[in-house]
């Protein structure tokens, strides 16, 4: 009987302790909620006050802030223009700088071709007549293309072949009225006796020959403007 009463007492005590623990947890949870609520309210109040203060400051200093903004914007625009000008100078190089500064780097020639070349041009016009067109100082690359059946397109060899003739010109080109090429002609003066010119002339001769275009050369007598035209009959 005594043990039974003790067991009941223990159960009752356990229930009381459990109930008290639940009550304390509930009270702590409610207290935490109240604290968080107060904290959020304080934050909102502080944020609102800060926003109002900021608005008042902006209203008071609006003109000054605006002036500072436009001053900064103008400065940025000026810096951008200076940077663009600097980049432009870098891109256009030394000659570009000279021209930009107003330096007269070049002067125009009075005539196209030398006096002797002009005389021979008129001579060719008389020989071929009005049914042919004659052009002076024509680029070789306007007459010859790299042959892709022999040199692979886009290869390094193609660049080598193109660069070899890219800076060369012939003195004259003769075409028909439809601009079909009849032949090219070179007027060789004493400068063509130099080793470098002879190498150039040899390559150009072979290039035209391999391309199937006729290239004729006419020599000038040394120190004489008269032309040796023994090859004229082969052109006609």
**pLDDT truncated to tens, each residue of the chain (236 aa)?**
555 565 565 565 556 666 666 666 667 777 776 777 777 777 776 666 666 665 555 555 555 555 665 566 666 666 666 565 555 556 778 888 898 899 999 999 999 888 888 988 988 888 888 899 999 999 999 999 999 999 999 999 999 999 999 999 999 999 999 999 999 999 887 676 778 788 989 999 999 999 999 999 888 665 444 444 444 444 44
Is the pTM value of this prediction over 0.75? no
User: Is 95 inside a domain boundary?
Assistant: no
Asked if residue 107 lies in contact with residue 92, where contact means CB atoms within 8 angstroms, the answer is no
- Do 122 and 227 lie in one domain? The reply is yes
Q: Give the Cα separation of 181 and 214 in Å (integer).
A: 9
24-30, Cβ contacts within 8 angstroms, sequence gap of 24 or more? none
- Do 230 and 119 lie in one domain? The reply is yes
Q: Give the Cα separation of 34 and 21 in Å (integer).
A: 20
Query: Whose structure tokens read 């024509």?
Result: 138
Q: How many domains does the chain have?
A: 2
- Do 128 and 202 lie in one domain? The reply is yes
User: Is 28 inside a domain boundary?
Assistant: yes
> Which tokens belong to 207?
């290039």
- Do 133 and 229 lie in one domain? The reply is yes
User: Is 186 inside a domain boundary?
Assistant: yes
At residue 148, the pLDDT reads: 94
User: Is 230 inside a domain boundary?
Assistant: yes
- Do 201 and 131 lie in one domain? The reply is yes
User: Is 206 inside a domain boundary?
Assistant: yes
At residue 124, the pLDDT reads: 86
**Domain residue limits at 31:** 2-60
User: Is 84 inside a domain boundary?
Assistant: no
Backbone angles phi, psi at 220, to 5 degrees: -95, 140
What DSSP letter does each residue of 165-216 carry, written as one string?
HHT-EEEEEEE-TT--EEEEEEEE-GGGGSHHHHHHHHHHHHHHHHHT--EE
Q: Give the Cα separation of 188 and 192 in Å (integer).
A: 6
At residue 41, the pLDDT reads: 72
Last residue of a domain, which of 24, 42, 60? Answer: 60
Last residue of a domain, which of 45, 60, 75? Answer: 60
User: Is 189 inside a domain boundary?
Assistant: yes
Last residue of a domain, which of 60, 89, 104? Answer: 60
User: Is 123 inside a domain boundary?
Assistant: yes
């Amino acid at each position: 009987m005594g043990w039974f009463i003790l067991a009941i007492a223990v159960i009752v005590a356990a229930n009381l302790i459990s109930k008290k623990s639940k009550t304390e947890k509930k009270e702590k949870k409610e207290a935490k909620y109240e604290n968080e609520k107060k904290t959020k309210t304080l934050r909102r109040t502080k944020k609102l006050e800060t926003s109002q203060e900021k608005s008042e400051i902006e209203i008071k200093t609006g003109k000054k802030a605006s002036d500072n903004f436009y001053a900064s914007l103008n400065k940025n625009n000026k810096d951008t223009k200076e940077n663009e000008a600097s980049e432009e100078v870098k891109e256009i190089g030394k000659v570009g700088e000279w021209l930009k500064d107003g330096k007269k780097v070049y002067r125009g020639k009075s005539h196209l071709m030398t006096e002797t070349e002009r005389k021979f041009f008129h001579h060719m016009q008389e020989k071929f007549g009005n049914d042919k067109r004659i052009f002076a100082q024509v680029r070789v690359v306007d007459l010859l293309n790299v042959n892709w059946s022999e040199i692979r397109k886009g290869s390094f060899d193609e660049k080598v072949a193109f660069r070899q003739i890219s800076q060369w010109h012939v003195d004259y080109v003769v075409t028909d009225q439809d601009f079909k090429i009849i032949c090219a002609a070179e007027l060789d003066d004493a400068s063509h006796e130099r080793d470098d010119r002879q190498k150039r002339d040899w390559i150009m001769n072979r290039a035209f020959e391999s391309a199937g275009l006729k290239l004729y050369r006419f020599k000038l007598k040394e120190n004489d403007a008269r032309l040796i035209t023994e090859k004229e009959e082969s052109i006609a």
